[in-house]
Amino acid sequence: ANEASELESFVTYRNQRDFSHHPLHKLFLNIFSCLIKNRLVCEWLRQASPDNILGVLICLRLLIRDPHHQYMESVSSDYLEGGYQIFAVDKLVNMTIFQKLSAVEHQRAWVIKCRAHETLVKLLASRDTSALLGALLALTSLADLEYKEKIGELPVVGSLLVILQEYDLLSKVSAELLRLLCPAPRIWEQVRAYEGVPVLLSLLQSDHLRLLGSAVWVLVQLCEDPGIAAEIRAWGGVQQLLHILRKREYISDRSSVETLSSANAAGRIQRQHVSEEFSPKETLENVMSLQACCAALTELILDDTTAHHVENGVYIIGKLVLPQSSQPGPKATSLQCCAFRTLRFLFSVERNRRLFKLFSAELFEMFIDVGHYVRDITSYEALQAKVSLLSEEELKSLREGIEAVNLHRSPLKVINGYAVLDHLGSGAFGSVYKVRRQNGQNLLALKEVNLHNPAFGKDKRERDVSVEKVVSELSVMKEQISHPNIVKYYKTFLEDRLYIVMELIDGVPLAEHLNSLKEKQQRFTEDRIWNIFIQMCLALRYLHIEKKIVHRDLSPNNIMLGESDRVTIDFGLAKQKEAGCELTSVVGTMLYSSPEIVKSEPYGEKADVWALGCILYQMAELRPAFYSSNTLALATQIVEAVYEPVQDGVFSTRVTDIIKCLTPDADLRPDIVEISGRISDLMMKFIDNLCTSQQALEKKLERDRKRALKYFLEASRLPPTLQHDFKRWVVERFKKTLFDSRSSPYNLKLELKKFQTIIEEVLEENEYC
């Protein structure tokens, strides 16, 4: 009773802020130490009444307001010595010990030195909202300075990812803390280990400004890691970032880290204020979020495969370069510069260049002069200044140019029931378009072949005979060819031209990768070269040995690289060779044509081996083995097999040994089986990796099956009217899980069908539907 009375009388010091300079400061320090040691860090807490505990906490809160370190140091030291298992977590947060410590700049070094940050990270595993909030705020204050690496050394990411998924009201503070910690190298490792990319990408679905901004800036920093960047792409991060740029309207959440800085913040967070009207500060925050999206895309575009995935990106990002009357000021100007930078990086990818018809001649010249892959944002200020000075007529023309590159506009034309959505490229024999059947959803590729090409004959009669043979051969090969590294053909038809309907390959030509690496002054690694080369060998072995087909036009332009450099070969000019006969027609690209083709002599499968050697040389040197602007000089180089040797010391001798297949005498040139035999150990390693990936995916499929079955068992408790909808939801969710996988084997659809069959059997047995 006496203690309770004394503690109650201590409230008279509620206006005292500096106990360390009070005449009785030693007495206050003793009181402080005694309350910690003899009341909080002992069994007293378990026996005391709530009123007595409250009195102790009130007294401690008054004492801890002192800015001098000795009181705070005493509390923290006793806390750490006593162990946080003994000390009640919620009482610690109510006292805001570490929040107070972390808020004082000159005390933060001491907090780290006494290893208090380790305790704070442990508190992130708590299920108490107050404890989580207190630990998050304290760590956010510490991570705002140079101590982020110290915190990043601890296993903090796993707890933050759990909070982001399970605590909506704390997600903004958690995302902000993760943003501050991201520069620490160990954080990237933890994100990979805890599979954090899907969780972070799920935050992009949020409409709340601060949460969205923090999540995007986290991704910007993570994109610097090539492995994480590939994972972001595989989980659809590019499309989500483009969606944010396209939407550009979010909800203002007025709760912030600043307003949650005191002990009763956990209560106030429940009363967050949401408004759809932005203050000037929030408008700037919105602009900064858009800047972050542009910055993330810029980092992702450095990978050529990702740059291909930025579908309709030129149109979406192009709209950001226009002056924004609703967002004036320096931040809006910076957004325009960021958009110009992202567009310039997109332009550096050869395939995208055809889309850049949106700028006037003068603006386009300035755009080109910036150069490839220039990160410095100030290099784009002249472009922004030029746009700001455009007249209304010029701005109207720019807007029309941007609208013209919108890939989601109405189909360009319709060919035999196929809606043409986009022009993918052109070659010597015609053009390739992205199409979709008018009554379907699947995207396909439509190759339009110009029948007036000399390769089909000199007159109409010869052309008709050649086209008839091509259609016949394509029909036969469509039925016979089935290989994961060779494009699938579905249909051919004739109108005024020859049209071939084929699989739409998700990737870009090897030629674009070669050009991009040359512009970046980078090289293929030897592992990457062998990964691509082995897949080409597998495809050619299948064509030559099993199907007796000669490709005849193997070149970097018709070798497509998809996710993880998966090779798909287009064989539009391939021809089936009869036993004991040689081919004589001259087709293909001269740079990769064998000596026998150049000399118009009969040729066979070894013509493809020559082209294979040329491609291997180009991957190693980033230039063709044979090149001249003079056709006769080029033919002489090819016939005599005169080329510059591969640079010494860059690659192993095995690369140069394989390139020696560029032998002008076809009889002395190795066939595809001999070439494969020379790299048999590498091929076995490739197959081992493929089997390991297959087994890992099968285990994942099995886990997903069990999880889905569990969902169905739980669904048995649903009302009958909801069971059918639940079934459909689970199947669709499982589909998404399967087809989002980066390492999907080629039989995924078969696996999915098997899964659906199992589900149907379970449903029938248990009479769920």
Could you tell me the sign of the dihedral formed by the alpha carbons of 535, 539, 545, 549, in that order?
negative
Q: Which residue has the tokens 């469509």?
A: 478
Cα 752 from Cα 748, distance rounded (Å): 6
Q: Of the candidates 326, 297, 322, which has an alpha carbon nearest to the alpha carbon of residue 309? A: 297
- Positive or negative, the CA dihedral 684, 686, 688, 691 is negative
Burial class (CB in 10 A: 0-12, 13-18, 19+), 209: buried
DSSP state of 208: B
Asked whether the beta carbons of 296 and 179 are under 8 A apart, the reply is no
- DSSP conformation letters of 72-113: HHHHHHHHHHH-TTTS-HHHHHHHTHHHHHHHSGGGHHHHHH
Going 326 to 331 to 332 to 338, the CA torsion angle's sign is negative
Contact of 571 with 588, CB cutoff 8 Å: no
- Determine the 3-state secondary structure of 226 from DSSP: helix
Binding-site residue positions for ATP: 447
Q: How many CB atoms lie within 10 A of CB 194?
A: 16
In this structure, are residues 141 and 103 in contact, taking their beta carbons and an 8 Å threshold?
yes
Look up tokens 């700028």; give the residue.
Answer: 359
Q: How far apart are CA 241 and CA 203, in angstroms?
A: 11
Q: Which candidate in 66, 253, 553, 671 is catalytic?
A: 553
Residue 503: partners with Cβ closer than 8 Å, 6 or more residues away: 444, 445, 487, 488, 489, 490, 568
> What is the C-alpha to C-alpha distance for residues 448 and 432, in angstroms, rounded to an integer?
6
Are 561 and 532 in contact by the 8 Å Cβ rule? The answer is yes
CA distance 642 to 433: 38
Write 361-365 long-range contacts (CB < 8 A, 24+).
Answer: 362/386, 363/387, 363/398
Binding site feature residues: 447
Nearest-angstrom CA–CA distance, 635 and 93? 81
Backbone angle region of 151, left / alpha / beta, with phi > 0 → left and psi within -120 to 50 → alpha: alpha
Q: What is the DSSP string of 524-583?
A: --HHHHHHHHHHHHHHHHIIIIIS-EE-S---GGGEEE-GGG-EEE--TT-EEPPTT--B
Query: Any catalytic annotation for residue 527?
Result: no
Cα–Cα distance, 619 to 625 (Å, whole number): 10
What separation in angstroms does the CA of 694 have from each of 98, 332, 712? 49, 48, 27
Distance CA 164, CA 375 (A): 32
Helix (H, G, I), strand (E, B) or coil at 325: coil
What type of residue sits at position 42?
C
Structure-block tokens of residue 115: 């290893």
Count how many residues are written for the chain: 769
Contact 268, 259 (CB under 8 A): yes
Q: Which residues are catalytic?
A: 553
